[in-house]
Amino acid sequence: MDTEHADPAVIAELREALCADDKGESALGWPAVRTFEAEHGVTLPEPYRTFVAEVSDGSFAGPPEYGLVALAELPSDWGDGRPERLLSRAFPLTGEWLWEGDDDPDEELIDRAYNDGSVVLGTDGCGMYWHLVVTGPHRGQIWMISGEGALPFGEEFGRGAGEAGFTGWVRHWSAGEPWFEG
């Protein structure tokens, strides 16, 4: 997983998989991406960074189930009254955590898992949100965060048969593979 350089072949693959055939009209452009990054104190991981700058800022095609949301937006079912999102603060989790069965879950840490160090890519509905980690040791990885817990995506974590990261996540979806194996 290369989070620092975008491979043109990977960008073309993402364009095709996500049906981003509007010839880049929905792309943010580099000035807008750099402005977003400066405002939030982050550098987006590749290839997602190049995808939103040059290909598409959101997509009706999945993943996730209801499509990618635009970079600066949240899914329509996100809700109000949540803590402020702090993208520059490191994503707080280091491994999967199912807090639903925890007798005394750390509510502050749960809020941080939802709001710190990630951009929300979209929802599969029912409060299941896919996040791309943009800050901290797990930068570039995809996580599913829901009311029950948080799980990293990727074969190395035992969750899905694909490689970790945005490209592996899209490839896995495009192949019609089940999300949670093993």
| Bond prior to 83 in cis (omega within 30° of 0) | no
Cα angle at 47 between 150 and 144, to 5 degrees? 10
Domains in the chain, CATH or no CATH each: 8-73+83-174 (3.40.1580)
Which two structure tokens, joined as six digits, stand for 8?
């043109």
Backbone angles phi, psi at 120, to 5 degrees: -85, 120
The full DSSP string for 96-159 is -B-GGG-SS--HHHHHHHHHBSEEEEEEEETTEEEEEE-SSTTTT-EEEE-SS-EEE-BGGGTB
Confidence of residue 141 (pLDDT cuts 50, 70, 90): very high
| The pLDDT of residue 9 | 95
pTM as predicted: 0.92
Q: What is the pLDDT of residues 50-84, one digit of tens each?
A: 999 999 998 877 788 888 899 989 998 888 888 88
CA-closest candidate to residue 14, choices 152, 121, 106:
121
